[in-house]
């Protein structure tokens, strides 16, 4: 039961919502689509669900042309970022609603609703009215109503985006367990997000989208280690990967007159010339023997501090594994872990990474 998209294109007046999208998705897998707002994620999900018709290209499932199958006949379930429940119904009836509409046998409805409730951890809430639930519980109801359909394709459009941080973190782990169980039942699960952490933690296949195009597809590990381009590196990291221009000359990397780095081993085959270099925040740390940078901003996040730093137009974000106060404009010494450096060509395409030659 493979889902195949071939050259899907959907146009607006002046832009592409989907621009020549092609992919193949197999049952029993989780696919996470990551992209910034307006990258085309929701349009793609709605096209699969039949809520939006593409201008060109084809979509097929299990060998059948999906384009001619009406929405109500597609074995597709969708959960939106704005969780939608029926306020006049209790939890049980909300979840059972699509089965009752299909006139499924009452005994089967009871069994399937019970199973879905257990999957999302809402046991004991069956008679609770929707208004009496928290935001996280309401999202679980919406998810359970999709799970109960036993759909062949389950679409989740940023389902955690409107919840607070701690709840997102909790539900992310629970969703991962639910999805792993559901995926083993030969369903295709497609989850969209703007959050790199979600994309990497959910596992499975990751699809990176931007401006209606697929930039890269592969395992979370492959994309994290070897982002195909600077755009992918920015989208799949939080904070975005630091990118700065520089030049390789002999055994040195010159970023400016003051910041000159040694060549890491994985750059040994790169010819001299100009490149865009990348490094994650974890590779930029405070070091008394390092280069002088001015602090533009210090952000405390949990037990960590992110430092926004500048040295003559070299702007980077560094990570301090501690909570510490800094003054804006203060000068600190910074070092770069050269073994964590990436090199991209003038076209933004990856030339070398710390994981070059690995999969």
* Ranges of each domain in the chain: 3-234, 242-352
- For the residues of 33-48, what is the DSSP string, one character each? EE--TTSSHHHHHHHH
Angle at 241 between CA 238 and CA 244, to 5 degrees: 150
- Highest mean pLDDT out of 288-297, 321-330, 350-359: 288-297
Task: Give the C-alpha separation, 331 to 351, whole Å.
Answer: 33
Kindly tell me if the per-residue pLDDT of 203 is higher than 80: no
Three-state DSSP class for residue 244? strand
Kindly tell me if the per-residue pLDDT of 8 is higher than 90: yes
Strand (E) positions, the chain?
3-11, 16-25, 29-34, 56-61, 64-65, 76-79, 153-157, 188-193, 205-210, 213-219, 242-249, 252-254, 260-262, 273-279, 284-301, 304-311, 314-320, 331-336, 342-344, 350-352
Give the chain's mean pLDDT: 90
Reported confidence tier of residue 183, pLDDT bands at 50, 70, 90:
low
The residues pairing with 301 across neighbouring beta strands, listed in sequence order, are 304
The confidence score (pLDDT) of residue 18 equals 95
Task: Give the C-alpha separation, 172 to 191, whole Å.
Answer: 11
The confidence score (pLDDT) of residue 173 equals 76
pLDDT digits (tens, 9 = 90+) for 277-305: 999 999 999 999 999 999 999 999 888 99
Q: How many CB atoms lie within 10 A of CB 219?
A: 13
Closest CA to 31 of 165, 176, 204, 171: 204
End-to-end CA distance of the chain: 28
- For the chain, percent of residues with pLDDT exceeding 90: 65
Kindly tell me if the per-residue pLDDT of 22 is higher than 70: yes
Three-state DSSP class for residue 126? coil
Reported confidence tier of residue 244, pLDDT bands at 50, 70, 90:
very high
Which of the residue ranges 10-14, 268-272, 273-277, 332-336 would you say has the lowest mean pLDDT?
A: 10-14
Encoding tokens for residue 196? 């790199």
Sign of the CA dihedral running 118, 121, 126, 131? negative
Tell me the mean pLDDT in the region 90-119.
92
The residues pairing with 24 across neighbouring beta strands, listed in sequence order, are 4
Kindly tell me if the per-residue pLDDT of 165 is higher than 80: no
The confidence score (pLDDT) of residue 182 equals 64
The confidence score (pLDDT) of residue 359 equals 43
> Does residue 135 or residue 179 have the better pLDDT?
135
The confidence score (pLDDT) of residue 201 equals 83
Those residues whose C-beta lies under 8 Å from the C-beta of residue 82, and which sit 6 or more positions away, are: 162
Which of the residue ranges 151-155, 169-173, 306-310 would you say has the lowest mean pLDDT?
A: 169-173
CATH superfamily placement of domain 242-352: Nucleic acid-binding proteins (2.40.50.140)
Domain 3-234, what architecture?
3-Layer(aba) Sandwich (3.40)
Reported confidence tier of residue 246, pLDDT bands at 50, 70, 90:
very high
């Amino acid at each position: 039961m493979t889902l195949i998209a071939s050259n899907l294109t959907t146009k607006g007046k002046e832009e592409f919502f989907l621009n020549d999208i092609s992919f193949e998705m197999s049952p029993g897998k989780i696919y996470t689509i990551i992209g910034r707002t307006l990258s085309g994620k929701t349009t793609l999900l709605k096209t699969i669900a039949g809520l939006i018709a593409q201008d060109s290209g084809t979509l097929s499932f299990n060998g059948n042309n999906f384009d001619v199958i009406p929405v109500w006949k597609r074995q597709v379930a969708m959960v939106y970022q704005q969780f939608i429940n029926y306020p006049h119904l209790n939890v049980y009836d909300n979840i059972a609603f699509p089965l009752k509409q299909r006139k499924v046998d009452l005994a089967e409805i009871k069994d399937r609703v019970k199973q879905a409730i257990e999957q999302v951890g809402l046991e004991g809430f069956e008679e609770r009215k929707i208004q009496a639930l928290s935001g996280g519980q309401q999202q679980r109801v919406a998810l359970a109503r999709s799970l109960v359909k036993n759909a062949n394709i389950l679409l989740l459009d940023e389902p955690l985006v409107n919840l607070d941080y701690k709840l997102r973190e909790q539900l992310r782990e629970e969703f991962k367990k639910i999805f792993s169980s559901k995926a083993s039942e030969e369903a295709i699960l497609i989850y969209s997000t703007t959050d790199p952490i979600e994309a990497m933690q959910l596992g499975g296949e990751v699809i990176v989208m931007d401006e209606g195009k697929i930039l890269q597809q592969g395992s979370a590990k492959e994309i994290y280690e070897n982002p195909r381009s600077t755009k992918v590196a920015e989208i799949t990291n939080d904070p975005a990967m630091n990118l700065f221009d520089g030049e390789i000359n002999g055994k040195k990397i010159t970023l400016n007159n003051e910041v000159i780095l040694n060549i890491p081993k994985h750059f040994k085959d790169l010819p001299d010339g100009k490149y865009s270099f990348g490094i994650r925040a974890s590779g930029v740390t405070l070091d008394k023997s390092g280069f002088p940078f001015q602090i533009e901003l210090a952000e405390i996040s949990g037990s960590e501090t992110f430092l926004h730093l500048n040295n003559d137009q070299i702007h980077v974000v560094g990570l301090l594994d501690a909570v510490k106060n800094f003054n804006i404009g203060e000068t600190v010494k910074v070092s770069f872990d050269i073994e964590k450096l990436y090199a991209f060509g003038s076209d933004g395409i990856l030339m070398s990474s710390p994981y070059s030659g690995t999969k």
